[in-house]
Amino acid sequence: MDLTGKVAVVTGSGRGLGLGYARALAAAGASVVVNDVDQQAVDAAVRGIEAAGGTAVGVAAAVGETATAEELVATAVQRFGRLDVLVTNAGILRDRVLWRMTDADFDDVVRVHLRGTFTCARAAAVRMREQGDGGRLILIGSPAGQRGNFGQTNYAAAKAGIAAMARTWAMELARAHITVNAVIPVAATEMTKTIPAFAPAIEEAERTGAPLPDWLRRDEGLGSVEDVAGLITFLASDASATVTGQAIGVGGDRLALWTHPQEKKADLRDGGWSADEIAAAWADGVGAEPETFGIPAPQSPAGD
């Protein structure tokens, strides 16, 4: 993929998946605005991209407020003349079960993930529409937002909202030739290392430099940061011009398309449904095959 001449902003790109996205875009020829709340992480990321022959500039600021979004877009335009790609990756975790989650836990996560995606996408869309030649909004979601996850009320809700915004903005920005997609990544990061079924295999791969085992890469769709970055580069490119409004999963050896929520089954009754009639019909009607919920528990080959 050749992204020469394109300019990208990647939020939360001082480390982890975001850094991988920024490096991949720069390696493909894009000029990149690196963002993180940590100035040292920003500086290190920019140095690394430049040392590899890429072009980057950094902005240390917390995502969520409109001022940060406008600063990121303004930096791209002032330093590189335009904006073509936005990757909204910035995020934090404040995991707690519902009855222990505080207002601050909820608000902090929603502010960074959901509001941060909104403010940055809005600022980018304004600039891209002014330029008049299209653009790419790549919103980072999560399996938790697709299925829910224990202890992640705030995170799952924000990520579900991000997928919904991708579908909405794909409609609103279609005439401006701006595509909008949600990426659902699964990769070996500091967060996935905390999952007991994954931790030993990830630690062994890091210790020896060997690839992750096939059961992780294929069955669980979990691989390295680099395994995810290819999808980001594709969605930033001209090759993805017809891809919009989609939730696309990637990790390890797996590339997947998530379904949009839709009615699975519907029963009809003349005059509508009373509570008693629903109770009588539920088990053999629409409730005969209830949907699952939650991210399926990973299983190693030994079933541990």
Catalytic residues: 142, 155, 159
Q: Measure the CA–CA gap between 246 and 170, rounded to whole angstroms.
A: 9
Enter the DSSP assignment of 53: T
Question: Is-contact 78 126, C-beta < 8 A?
Answer: no
Maximum CA extent, the chain: 70
Question: Is-contact 32 19, C-beta < 8 A?
Answer: no
Planar angle of CA 199, 200, 203, nearest 5 degrees: 80
State which amino acid sits at residue 296.
P
The pairing of strands 254-257 and 247-251 is antiparallel
DSSP, residue by residue, 240-271: GTT--S-EEEEETTEEEEPPPP--------TT
For 183, the token pair is 């990426």
Straight-line distance from the first to the last Cα atom of the chain, in angstroms, rounded to the nearest whole number: 40
For 38, the token pair is 């940590």
Question: Is-contact 33 60, C-beta < 8 A?
Answer: no
Cα dihedral sign, 128-141-169-109: negative
Burial 2-14 (b: 16+ CB within 10 A, else e): ebeebbbbbbbbb
Question: Is-contact 135 124, C-beta < 8 A?
Answer: yes
Cα dihedral sign, 176-240-61-100: positive
